[in-house]
Structure 1
Amino acid sequence: MTEEPARRRYDSLRRTAQAQQTSAEIARAARTLFVAKGWAATTVRDVAREAGVSVPTVYAAYGNKNGLTWALADAADLSADLSQLLAELEAAPEPSRQLAAMVAYDRRLFERAGEVIVLLREAGRTEPELAQSYQDARARADEAHHQVLSAWPPGTLRPDIDLQTAIDIYAAICNIDVYSELTIERGWPPARVEKWWAATLTRELLET
C-alpha cells in the first residue's frame, strides 16, 4: 500500500479528532468565561473569541449558548469517571463499601466540576431550560442512588427509614453546598470530606 492511500484512510479519524479538539477548546473557553463573568453576561461571540474560533464554529459544535451549558454539565459527569464508580460497585457488594464508592464519585464530581454545577443552578434561576437541565441532573443522581440502595438485601437499611427517606438523607448530606462549605469556608481537604460523608451515611443509613 502506498503512503498516500494510507493517509487517506485515516482522514476521517483525523477530522474527528480535530473536531473533538475544537469542541473541547470551546467548552474550556465557555467554562472560563461563564465562571468569570457569569452565564448571562457571556455571549457566544465571547466564547468564540476566547476559544480562537469563529462564531459559526461554536454554533456548529453546540447549537447555542444553552447547548454550551449542557455540554459543560455532561463534561462534569465525565470528569468524575462514572466507569470507575461502576467498577467499584461491582467489586464491592457490601453496602458500606458501596456507599464509600458513591461518595468518592461525588467528591470527584464536586472537586473537578463543582463550579459548573453551581453555574448551571444559578443560570437556571432566569433560564427555564437550564433550570430543567439542573433538575434533570439531580433526578439522575437520585435514580442512581435508588438503583444501588434498592438492590441491597432486606434489613440493610435502618428499620426506622424507608428507601425514599434514605435517598433524601443522602442528598441532604452529600451535595455541592455541603462540599463547598467544608472545603472553601472551613478549609477541609476534599479527602476529609469524603471520609466524613462515608462515615456519616453509614451511620445514618445502615442497620448495625
Structure 2
Amino acid sequence: MNEEQGRRRYDSLRRTTQALETRAGIADAARRLFDARGWAGTTVRDVAREAGVSVPTVYATYGNKTGLTRAVADSADLSADAPQMLAELEAAAADPRRQLRAMAGYDRRLFERAGDVITLIREAGRSEPELATAYRDGRERGDETRVQVFASWPAGTLRPGLDLPTAVDIYAAICTIDVYTTLTTERGWLPGRVEEWWGQTLVRELLS
C-alpha cells in the first residue's frame, strides 16, 4: 500500500469515527436536556446547541425528536449490559435461583444507570404514541426473556398453582422502576440492597 492509499483508508476510518462520536454526543446532549427540562421542554434546536452541532445535523442523524428519544432509549438498554445477564443465565442454567438473581441484577443496572430515560419515555408516551410504543416494546422484551427462562425450568420448579403467565406478571410487579425509585430515593436503600431483596423476594414468590 502506498502512502496515498494509506491516507485514504485512514481518512475513511476517521470519518466513521467522527460520525459515531457525533451520534453519541447528540444523544448525550439530549439526555442531559431531557433530564433538566423534560421531554416537552426540549427542542431539537436546544439539543443541537448543547451538542455543538447544527440543527440539520441532528435531523440527518436521528430524524426528529422522537427518533432521538429512541436512540437515548437504546443507549439505556446497552448501559445495563445485557451480554452480562445472558452469560450469567447460561452459567446458571441448572439453578433457577441464580437465574432469578441474574435477571434482578440486570434490572438493577438498568434502573440505576438509565432510570431517568425509562421514566422520561413513559411520561412522554402519554402524548407521543411512538414513544408509548417504545416503552411498551421495552416491557415486552423483558417479558420475553422471563418467558424463555421460566419455560426452560423442569416441571415443578414454579410454586404449586402458579402458571407461566402469572409468574411473569409477578416478576414484572416486583422489579419495576417505581419500586426501585421508592426504595433508593425515598427510603435510602443502596442499589445493591434492592437487587439482593429482589432476588430473595423472587425466589420466595416464584419457586416451589
Q: TM-score, normalised by structure 1?
A: 0.97
What is the match of residue 18 of structure 2? 18
What is the match of residue 136 of structure 1? 137
Which letter maps to 1:109? L
Residue 161 (structure 1) shift: 0.8
1:75-86 mapped onto 2 (5 Å cutoff): 75-86=75-86
What is the match of residue 109 of structure 2? 108
Q: TM-score, normalised by structure 2?
A: 0.97
Provide the C-alpha distance between the structure 2 equivalents of 1:70 and 1:100, rounded to a whole number of angstroms: 28
Residue 127 (structure 1) shift: 1.0
Give the root-mean-square deviation of aligned CA atoms.
0.9
What is the match of residue 37 of structure 1? 37
Provide the C-alpha distance between the structure 1 equivalents of 2:189 and 2:53, rounded to a whole number of angstroms: 39
| TM superposition outliers: structure 1 runs of 4+ over 4 Å | none
% identical equivalent positions: 71
What is the total number of aligned residue pairs between the two structures? 207
Provide the C-alpha distance between the structure 2 equivalents of 1:7 and 1:145, rounded to a whole number of angstroms: 49
Residue 7 (structure 1) shift: 2.3
Q: Which runs of 5+ in 1 are unaligned?
A: none
Which letter maps to 2:55? V
Provide the C-alpha distance between the structure 2 equivalents of 1:9 and 1:180, rounded to a whole number of angstroms: 48
Q: Which runs of 5+ in 2 are unaligned?
A: none
Which letter maps to 2:64? N
